[in-house]
Amino acid sequence: MKYKNPRLTVDGAIVSEDKILLIKRNKFPFKDRWALPGGYVEYGEKVEDAVIREVLEETGLKVEIKKLFGVYSDPDRDPRGHTVTIVYLMNAIDGKLESDDDASDVRFFELEKLPELAFDHKKIINDVIRWLK
């Protein structure tokens, strides 16, 4: 019997002074929409290491984990197939803000003035906003 399993992803929520860090996606799906920095967990990799790696790759920032925020598992959250994401609240500790080849832009947005978002990131960010208040 062959089992179909969801793929595991991670996302980092970096909030500073009522602003959140987002990347502009440079690839399908949701090309040119904004998203939390994150990506797939590699085989043999701890999720904590994956989120730190993904944020560095996509934003140029070295980060530390503040808190495990939540798990989002709606089977329809990604048009490529069922993914489960683990979301962390994070602090930037070093580095220079710059996008890479997965992202065409990276910047902080006011929590109350968000652009059009990819995946279910609007729900995730709204949950973060509620938690912060």
**Which segment of 43-52, 54-63, 98-107, 124-133 scores lowest on mean pLDDT?**
98-107
pLDDT tens by residue, 37-48: 999 999 999 999
Task: Report yes or no: 36 and 11 within 8 Å, Cβ to Cβ.
Answer: yes
SS3 124: helix
Instruction: Identify the pLDDT of residue 104.
Output: 93
* Residue 50 pLDDT grade (very low, low, confident, very high; cuts 50, 70, 90): very high
pLDDT at 32: 95
**Are the C-beta atoms of 117 and 13 separated by less than 8 Å?**
no
Taking only the tens place, the pLDDT of each residue in 62-115 is 999 999 999 999 999 999 999 999 999 999 999 999 988 788 999 999 999 999
- Quick check: helix, strand or coil at residue 57? helix
- Look at residue 101 in the predicted model and tell me its pLDDT: 73
User: Domains in the chain and their CATH numbers?
Assistant: 7-132 (3.90.79.10)
Structure tokens at 24: 């502009």
DSSP 65-78: EEEEEEEE--TTS-
pTM: 0.95
